[in-house]
Amino acid sequence: MEAKKISVIVPVYNSINCLEKCVRSLCAQTYPNLEILLIDDGSTDGTAALVEELAKTDPRIRIHHKENGGASSARNVGISLATGEYLAFADSDDYLEPYVYEELLRALTAGDYPVAQISRDEVDEDDNRLPDVCIPPAKEWFCDAETFIKELLLHRGDCSFCTKLFPREVFGAHRFPEGELNEDFRLLVEILQEITGIVILPKQGYHVVARKTSTTRMRTKDSFSRVFTDIVENADGMQALVDEKYPALHAYAIRFNLYQRLDYLLHVPILQMRADNAFYKRVKTYLRRHLFDTIKNPYLTKKNKAYLLLFTASPKTVRRVHAGKMKLRRGA
């Protein structure tokens, strides 16, 4: 098993305060045959120099500096540079337990599975445990591709590439979509259509660090992250895919579409809720056309349904009330 090299691709951008912890956790892996690719995506805070210093500490570390193009661009460069038979990914502000890649490769090869996934947890910047976003299985479990898609549609599946180990050939011509957020979801769904499924390990060996400075969902009074529009676009794509290839999942896809639009409406700035905002109008129109689905869909919670019905009836009023509640909560 140790003859097989694992290339771990780490996009790096202005990560001077957290990169070393991530890299140390990679260097400490019990599976030694690693190639650690640090792809500096045009950092401006001194991270580029830190990458150079870290490369001196372990011969398995390879570095590449590039102009800023985003995490997907950095990952795609890493894929092109990787020399391992297996590919893995890590985010520069996260860290791993030492057993992760040994366990992933064991599971992958023992069952001749196409992809292996370790479970994850979420911690804050002081390593305090946060509520689980993805609940780990009680025991090692092979989840077939259609079931995995269903879990994603229910927001129970883990779409992160950082928790997974892939044989290199799984990627083929697949690459991360550049210039988008929620890119893991889109690429994973592409890959799931070509594999039998994913074996999931129960150990929570990958630690996602929730940082206050994360830009993924940062917003101001007048603007917000495009992730909230990207997740709606992805939902539309999922609906088309499900209706074509997985018709048994239709109700799950409707639930996913409604939920993603609810997430958008809970975050869109009130100043953007205008008649000339075509995207906002699309979201409103969808809710009105799917009023019956909102009421009858068995996979939405009562709270989801209540919010969706209120947004369908009076979106601006509900958004103002919700914004006020969030402001009071932050000030408490």
Q: According to DSSP H, which parts of 16-174 are helical?
A: 19-27, 47-55, 71-81, 100-110, 145-153
Quick one: pLDDT at residue 217?
Answer: 44
Ramachandran angles phi, psi of 19, nearest 5°: -60, -40
Query: What gap in Å lies between CA 279 and CA 263, rounded to an integer?
Result: 14
**Residues with Cβ < 8 Å from 104, sequence gap 6 or more?**
88, 116, 117, 118, 164, 165, 201
Q: How many residues appear in the chain?
A: 332
- Comparing CA positions, the residue from 85, 84, 106, 87 lying closest to residue 203 is 106
Quick one: pLDDT at residue 2?
Answer: 56
**Residues with Cβ < 8 Å from 53, sequence gap 6 or more?**
none
Spell out, as residue ranges, where the chain has pLDDT lower than 70.
1-2, 212-223, 326-332
Q: Count how many Cα atoms sit within 13 Å of the Cα of residue 321 in the half-sphere of its side chain.
A: 8
Q: Token pair for residue 235?
A: 């939902």
Pairing of strands 95-96, 197-209: antiparallel
Q: Do the beta carbons of residue 62 and residue 55 sit within 8 Å?
A: yes
Quick one: pLDDT at residue 156?
Answer: 95
User: Residue 196 corresponds to which amino acid?
Assistant: T
Query: What gap in Å lies between CA 224 and CA 283, rounded to an integer?
Result: 16
Largest CA distance in the chain: 61
Quick one: pLDDT at residue 231?
Answer: 94
Quick one: pLDDT at residue 331?
Answer: 61
Q: Do the beta carbons of residue 231 and residue 260 sit within 8 Å?
A: yes
**pLDDT, tens only, 253-310:** 999 999 999 999 999 999 999 999 999 999 999 999 999 999 999 999 999 999 999 9
- Comparing CA positions, the residue from 198, 215, 196 lying closest to residue 158 is 198
What separation in angstroms does the CA of 222 have from each of 213, 225, 226, 315?
18, 11, 13, 17
- Comparing CA positions, the residue from 215, 190, 318, 208 lying closest to residue 261 is 318
- The H or E element spanning position 8 is strand 6-12
Quick one: pLDDT at residue 56?
Answer: 97
**Residues with Cβ < 8 Å from 100, sequence gap 6 or more?**
29, 118, 205, 206
Query: What gap in Å lies between CA 70 and CA 47, rounded to an integer?
Result: 15
Query: What gap in Å lies between CA 15 and CA 38, rounded to an integer?
Result: 11
- Comparing CA positions, the residue from 31, 39, 30, 28 lying closest to residue 6 is 31
